[in-house]
Structure 1
């Protein structure tokens, strides 16, 4: 089985890159299932119902998210209604939506997906490690193929979770920092790992935001209204090949596909 995990989709340029490139990647690599982080898809902050529907139409099977999923209030009810949209599982009880699910490929193979959020330099949430323990145990009753999106700031926390879940899940992919790392590998227990899958959006930017606005913020330390940059869209992510019987990864490929190359 081949899984494509797409890094944080940022605004219209990210959606353009996804719509233009995803189908070709799926065909070339014979991808069976696509997971994408969509928490920045609406003008860089949050997700709307209409944009979520567009992302599904582009070929995404499951959308994960993170701390910015709460930026658009219309997403709250949608999280409760749409099983293919996840928010981090380690939010306290009472938060809208769900943090994991079991889905099926077009061939009927079951895939478990878990969304978690880190705590280092982020909100004081429930422990993602202990939340993962419970969810992995539950999902493994139904499938050996389990994918984890860990939306976290600190590289140390991401690597630690990868080591902690090694051999128990098929993939741990970090998101949130928007800069793709070059440490993709299969860990000793058979789990595919990357510290950050990268961003699907403008590369002529500071993590997807207009360069001039980001620089102004750093120079002045004054409030700046950020806007999504538009030039040089790229799709970043991770392609993982998995033995569906054991759930162990057998191959991993880092993806960074510029929009111009897809034409």
Structure 2
């Protein structure tokens, strides 16, 4: 099984990069399933339900979230009714949606996608390690392919999660920091790992945002509302091959489409 996981989609440039390239990429790379983090897709912050629906139409099978997933309330009903859109599981149980969904596609074994969020340099949240462990305890053993999106700031916390889940899941990929890292590897236990997938957003930007606004914030120390940068987009993520029977990763490689 070959899976493509895209990094955070940021604003209009990121959405356009996905819409214009994804179907071709799926065909060229022989991709079976595509997942993407969509929490920055609408204006650079949050995800509107109409944009989630657009992603499904152009070939994304599932969308994960992060700390901005709650911005647009029109998404709440979709989180509740459509398991293809996930929010970090270690948010409070009474909030809409779930952080785990089993995707089933004809001709493929079921694939569980898990979405959790980190605590280091992030808002207070329940322990991601305990949260993901509870999910794995409840998953049926006949679902060996398990993919984790760890939406976290600190590289150390992400790496620790990779080793915590080594041999327990097929892949652990990091999102949130929007910079594709150079540490893709298959851990000894058969778990594919990458600290950050990168982003789908404007090439000439500061993490997908207008550089001039970021510079002004650093130079003046004054708060300014960030805005997604315009212009041609880059599409980043990772492709991994997984043994369908054992759930062990066979390979992982960063992916970039300019």
Classify the TM-score, shorter chain: over 0.9
Report whether the alignment pairs 1:2 with 2:2. yes
Residue matched to 1:82 = 82
Pairing 1:10-29 to 2, within 5 Å after superposition: 10-29=10-29
The answer on whether the counterparts of 1:32 and 1:106 sit within 8 Å (CA) in structure 2 is no
More off after superposition, 106-115 vs 57-66: 106-115
Deviations 1:100-124, CA, capped at 9 Å, x for gaps: 0111133142000000000000021
Q: Partners of 1:140 and 1:217 in 2: how far apart?
A: 48
Q: Once the 2 structures are TM-superposed, how far is the Cα of residue 214 of structure 1 from its aligned partner?
A: 0.7
| Structure 2: distance between partners of 1:53 and 1:142 | 30
Distance 1:174 1:64 in 2: 11
Does 2:192 match 1:222? no
Bigger drift between 192-201 and 126-135 goes to 126-135
Counterpart for residue 162 of structure 2: 162
Instruction: Measure, in 2, the Cα distance between the counterparts of 1:229 and 1:64.
Output: 22
- 2:188 matches 1:178: no
Specify the SS of the correspondent of 1:162: helix
C-alpha deviation, 1:87, in angstroms: 0.2
Cα separation, 2, equivalents of 1:61 and 1:84: 7
Tell me how far apart the structure 2 counterparts of residues 120 and 108 of structure 1 sit (CA, whole Å): 36
Secondary structure (helix, strand or coil) at the match of 1:67 reads coil
Per the TM alignment, residue 17 of structure 1 is displaced from its structure 2 partner at its CA by: 0.5
C-alpha distance in 2, partners of 1:229/1:65?
21
**Using the alignment, how far apart are the partners of 2:50 and 2:243 within structure 1?**
35
SS at 1:69 equivalent: coil
TM-score by length of 1: 0.96
Residue matched to 1:235: 235
Residue 37 of structure 1: aligned partner: 37
How far apart are the structure 2 equivalents of 1:53 and 1:101? 17
Aligned to 1:97: 97
Following superposition, the deviation at residue 28 of structure 1 comes to 1.2
Q: Deviations over 1:55-103 (max 9, x none)?
A: 1111000100000001112112221111100000001221111110111
Supply the RMSD in Å over aligned alpha carbons.
Answer: 1.0
What is the distance in 2 between the residues matched to 1:117 and 1:181?
18
**2:133 paired with 1:141:** no
Q: 1:47–1:69: 8 Å Cα contact kept in structure 2?
A: yes
Q: Deviation of residue 140 (structure 1)?
A: 4.2
Provide structure 2 residue ranges, at least 5 long, that are not aligned to the other structure.
none
Q: How many residues align?
A: 258
**1:195 counterpart residue number:** 195
